[in-house]
């Protein structure tokens, strides 16, 4: 049987890099993207991976990239829109330019690349699109509200797409990772000149978050989303917080969750909240 081919964006580190390793180990051909010449050799040890340059901000490059990706192994069976970054800080302190940039990469870049691959999938009558959202899309985390809004856009886009593409034999899914220890936190785009009044809240909120899971946990979920054949399953939650939160909402209701989340973020977590939420997961060393 001919090996299938997946295209994965943003593969220098984190979920992207672990996904390249996993798909390759499972016998898939992988077209991996990086955005710097210096990173082009990152997957050289894998005989079934080809690494191409792509900055997802550059929407004009997408049609040419899709063609080049197709030429690598003769077909493309799945697209994983993973590239993204984290803008952090109170909304008041971030500039509109930082906000536009966050959406240009996390949302518009993802939409543009998706548009470049849909005709390929439509013509072959098959294909899976997996978009990386975030657990923060589900309830809008503070001090990262713009990032969370970008990931909520990805979630809604993916759900709409899932229904829209069903008749074409193409499926769209979204991954909702909780906190993972990846290099994303070493490349944060910070809001400058944060007014002091925000500092206690910022400290409280990030203390509440814990360390995070290893990126391999989410790479496994990405692989499952591409290969499980469940076209009607759109949401894949990953990590201890990523899986606990939807479960708690289901058990106790979204309104209860929201009140408790707000109280906890304001420094008054209830005992029940503390017992239900994964607390203080050990910090994980960066392994890639
Ligand atoms: N880590 C978490 O806790 C977490 C939780 C939920 C969702 N996510 C999402 O998961 C995805 C992967 O993040 P990660 O945690 O694995 O972080 P990461 O290790 O920083 O990986 C992000 C990748 O995206 C690439 N990238 C960023 N901007 C790009 C652009 N304009 N064009 C092309 N590539 C670009 C980065 O390339 P460079 O190396 O060149 O910067 C890197 O390869 C992101 O969409 C992130 O928002 C992460």
CA of 264 to the centre of ligand 1 (A): 28
- Which carries the bigger pLDDT value, residue 132 or residue 280? 132
Judge if the beta carbon of residue 287 lies within 6 A of ligand 1.
no
Question: Could you tell me if 265 and 208 are in contact, meaning their C-beta atoms sit under 8 angstroms apart?
Answer: yes
Judge if the beta carbon of residue 55 lies within 6 A of ligand 1.
yes
pLDDT higher than threshold 90 for residue 186: yes
- Which carries the bigger pLDDT value, residue 79 or residue 268? 79
- Which carries the bigger pLDDT value, residue 8 or residue 273? 8
* Ligand 1: nearest atom to the Cα of 151: 47
pLDDT higher than threshold 70 for residue 287: no
Q: Give the start-to-end residue ranges of the domains of the chain.
A: 5-276
CA of 185 to the centre of ligand 1 (A): 10
Judge if the beta carbon of residue 239 lies within 6 A of ligand 1.
no
pLDDT score of 284: 40
Q: What is the mean pLDDT of residues 258-272?
A: 91
Tell me, letter by letter, the H, E, C secondary structure of 188-250: CEECCCCCHHHHHHHHHHHHCCCCCECHHHHHHHHHHHHHCCCCCCCEEEECHHHHHHHHHHH
CA of 146 to the centre of ligand 1 (A): 16
CA of 201 to the centre of ligand 1 (A): 26
Q: What is the mean pLDDT of residues 125-150?
A: 96
pLDDT higher than threshold 90 for residue 140: no
Q: What is the mean pLDDT of residues 107-115?
A: 98
- Which carries the bigger pLDDT value, residue 269 or residue 225? 225
> Model confidence at 206, in pLDDT bands (50, 70, 90)?
confident
pLDDT higher than threshold 70 for residue 114: yes
pLDDT higher than threshold 50 for residue 285: no
**Which one is catalytic: 143, 147, 236, 237?**
147
Q: What is the mean pLDDT of residues 251-270?
A: 92
Whether residue 198 lies in the annotated active site: no
Mean pLDDT (the chain, rounded) = 94
In this structure, which residue's CA is closest to atom 32 in ligand 1? Answer: 55
Q: What is the CATH number of domain 5-276?
A: 3.40.50.720
Judge if the beta carbon of residue 43 lies within 6 A of ligand 1.
no
Q: What is the mean pLDDT of residues 81-110?
A: 98
Lowest-pLDDT range of 101-105, 138-142, 224-228: 138-142
């Amino acid at each position: 049987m001919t090996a299938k081919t997946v295209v994965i964006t943003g593969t220098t580190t984190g979920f992207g890099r672990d996904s390249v390793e996993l798909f390759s180990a499972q016998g898939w051909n992988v077209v991996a993207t990086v955005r710097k010449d210096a990173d082009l050799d990152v997957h050289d040890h894998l005989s079934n991976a080809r690494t191409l340059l792509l900055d997802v901000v550059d929407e004009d490059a997408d049609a040419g990239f899709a063609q080049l990706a197709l030429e690598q192994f003769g077909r493309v069976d799945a697209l994983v829109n993973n590239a993204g970054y984290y803008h952090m800080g109170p909304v008041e302190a971030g500039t509109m330019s930082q906000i536009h940039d966050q959406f240009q990469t996390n949302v518009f870049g993802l939409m543009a690349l998706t548009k470049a691959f849909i005709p390929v999938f439509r013509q072959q009558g098959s294909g899976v699109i997996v978009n990386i959202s975030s657990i923060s899309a589900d309830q809008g985390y503070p001090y990262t509200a713009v990032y969370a809004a970008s990931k909520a856009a990805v979630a809604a886009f993916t759900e709409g797409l899932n229904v829209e593409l069903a008749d074409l034999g193409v499926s769209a899914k979204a991954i909702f990772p909780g906190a993972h220890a990846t290099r994303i936190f070493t490349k944060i785009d910070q809001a400058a000149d944060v007014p002091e009044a925000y500092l206690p809240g910022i400290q409280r909120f990030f203390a509440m978050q814990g360390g995070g899971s290893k990126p391999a946990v989410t790479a496994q979920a990405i692989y499952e989303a591409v290969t499980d054949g469940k076209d009607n399953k759109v949401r894949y939650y990953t990590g201890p917080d990523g899986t606990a939160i939807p479960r708690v909402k289901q058990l106790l209701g979204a309104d209860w969750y929201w009140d408790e989340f707000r109280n906890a973020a304001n420094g008054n977590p209830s005992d029940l909240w503390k017992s239900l939420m994964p607390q203080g997961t050990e910090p994980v060393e960066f392994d890639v």
